[in-house]
Amino acid sequence: MYKYLLVILEKGAVSFCHYSNPYYHSQGQPSFMPLDLLEKIVRYARDKELFVNFLYGKHRLPTKYEALIDTVDHVKMIPLSLQESYPDGVLVLDAGERDAFGSIGKNASRNIILRVEQFDLRQLASDVDLLRGTFKRLNLHLVGIERFTEKDIELYETQVKAMGEKLQQAYKMGGEIEINILTDRMLLQQMNNCDAGVKHLTIAPNGQCYICPGFYHDDEAATVGVWNEDQEILIDNQRLLSLQCAPICSQCDAFHCKRCVYLNQLMTLEINVPSKEQCVLAHTEREASRQMLKRLRNIKPFDMLPAIRSLSYRDPFEVVAQPIGNSDPLLADRAEDLDVDDYLTQIYEMQKKILQKL
């Protein structure tokens, strides 16, 4: 059922996505996941041929842990402070660490994650510029979306456009770097989401399972069960994590969107319904991809990619939601109840240009 596991190695593990970990900056000794628990998890993953994402904190692991981790197919998600210790790890950066970006070694084949908060938006495009040469693929994740205002979204749009123009130039010069929020939508023909709780499960240092680390860090009581190597964890109402049970997302084509269920739960209280902010941000990115693809049409391999259609809305909720009341009597009344002259008069009053066109 699950394709891979997310294992949080210590309570202060790095946040690699939209959620925040309030313990990340905690001082003092780290509290690692118990070694015996880790042994069981690694053995399980090997037996089931599951890939494992290990989430590291700021502290280098004890040798026994490192040896154990090396026995299973995995990727290390590490903070900047551990880049020397684990040069093969996926670097997780906060935009606020930009002063240290210069210490990141050039590496055109690496994946980097960049987390961007509200106050970092203004410098987003220049932060990405600072990282040029250090990655093949950059995954941008916005943090604190629940606090974003309309102004933040407008600012983001400006920054994404600026990034798009530079990326477009890079592609025209034959560059092969990827930035998730711009590149992915051009390439995707169907949804490519996080699928937390569907394709992967998170195991925390306390031995409990969670849909994703965000749920664990928010509230340890939000567990979906105690991890047990002998029994598959069944999540209550797991169907609500699937695309088919997402009323807005199932009709959306912002395929690159992660459909973050943690943010859904946080902002709308429903795990299968995204907030307006999530949708608008995803469509801002979609539009930037659309524009970029249009301008790259005469370059291989972009000439082979299907066009992204233009939309009149930024929020698919507008086309999915059931109407609340209806102050328009023309639309509310049954056609059989309307006098023909009235009907035509009301159409004319709504659309005076119709008669001109006729």
Partner 1 sequence: MAIGESESSWQSGRAKTITFIVTEACQLRCGYCYIVGKNETNRMNFTVAKTAIDYILRNRRLFDESSVIWDFIGGEPLLEIELIDKICDYIKLQMYELDHPWFNSYRFSFSTNGLLYGQEKVQRFIKKNKRHLSMSISIDGTKEKHDSQRVFPDGRGSYDAVTKNFPLWMRQFPGAGTKATVSHQDLPLLKDSVVHLWEMGLKNVAINLVSENVWEPGDDLIYEAQLKQLADYIIEHELYRTHNCSFFLKTIGQPIDRSEDGNWCGAGKMLAIDYQGTFYPCIRFVPFSMQNKPARVIGNCFDGLDLNKVRPFLVLNRSMQSPAQCLDCEVASGCAWCQGNNYDLAQTDTIFQRAVYTCDMHKARVRANLYFWDKLSGTLGRELG
Partner 2 sequence: MELDKKAGCGCDSRSLIGKVTPRERDEILALFERKNGLTELAHSLAEADDDVLKNSYFYNKLVTDMGKTLAKYQQWWDDQAKVHQWEKGAGEAWEINFDTCQVFLRK
Count of residues interacting with partner 1 (CB under 8 A): 26
The H-or-E segment that residue 77 falls in is strand 74-79
Question: What is the number of helices (H) and of strands (E) in the chain?
Answer: 12, 10
In the list partner 1, partner 2, none, the entry touching 342 (Cβ below 5 to 8 angstroms by class) is: partner 2
How does strand 200-203 pair with strand 137-142?
Answer: unpaired
Distant-in-sequence, close-in-space partners of 102: CB < 8 Å, separation ≥ 6: 130
102 binds partner 1 (CB under 8 A): no
Do residues 222 and 210 lie in contact, with contact meaning Cβ atoms separated by under 8 Å?
Answer: yes
Alpha-carbon Rg for the chain, nearest whole angstrom, is: 24
Residue 87 or 329: the one with the smaller Cβ distance to partner 2 is 329
- The identity of residue 298, as a single letter, is N
Q: How many CB atoms lie within 10 A of CB 88?
A: 8
162 binds partner 1 (CB under 8 A): no
Q: Which residues bind partner 2 (CB under 8 A)?
A: 329, 333, 337-339, 341-342, 345-346
In the list partner 2, partner 1, none, the entry touching 338 (Cβ below 5 to 8 angstroms by class) is: partner 2
Q: What is the rounded CA–CA span in Å between residue 96 and residue 127? A: 9
150 binds partner 1 (CB under 8 A): no
**DSSP letters for 282-313:** HHHHHHHHHHHHHHTTTSTTGGGSPPPPP-S-
Residue 12 or 197: the one with the smaller Cβ distance to partner 1 is 197
Q: Which range of residues in 2-10, 53-61, 89-97, 261-269 is near partner 1 by CB under 8 A?
A: 261-269
269 binds partner 1 (CB under 8 A): yes
Cβ 339 to partner 2 shortest distance, Å: 4
The correct pick among 168, 272, 284, 289 for binding partner 1 (CB under 8 A) is 272
Q: For the chain, first and last CA: distance in Å?
A: 59
Which pair of tokens denotes residue 183?
Answer: 């590149």
Q: What is the rounded CA–CA span in Å between residue 240 and residue 14? A: 27
322 binds partner 1 (CB under 8 A): yes
CA separation (Å) from 119 to 46, 147, 156?
Answer: 42, 11, 11
Cβ 150 to partner 1 shortest distance, Å: 13
346 binds partner 1 (CB under 8 A): no
Give the contact letters, 193-232, x = binds to partner 1 (CB under 8 A), - = no.
----------------------------------------
236 binds partner 1 (CB under 8 A): yes
248 binds partner 1 (CB under 8 A): yes
Residue 301 or 329: the one with the smaller Cβ distance to partner 2 is 329
Provide the 8-state DSSP code for 206.
Answer: T
Which pair of tokens denotes residue 102?
Answer: 């210069």
In the list partner 2, partner 1, none, the entry touching 109 (Cβ below 5 to 8 angstroms by class) is: none
118 binds partner 1 (CB under 8 A): no
Interface residues with partner 1 (CB under 8 A)? 236-237, 240, 245, 247-248, 267-273, 275-277, 317, 320-322, 324-327, 329, 332
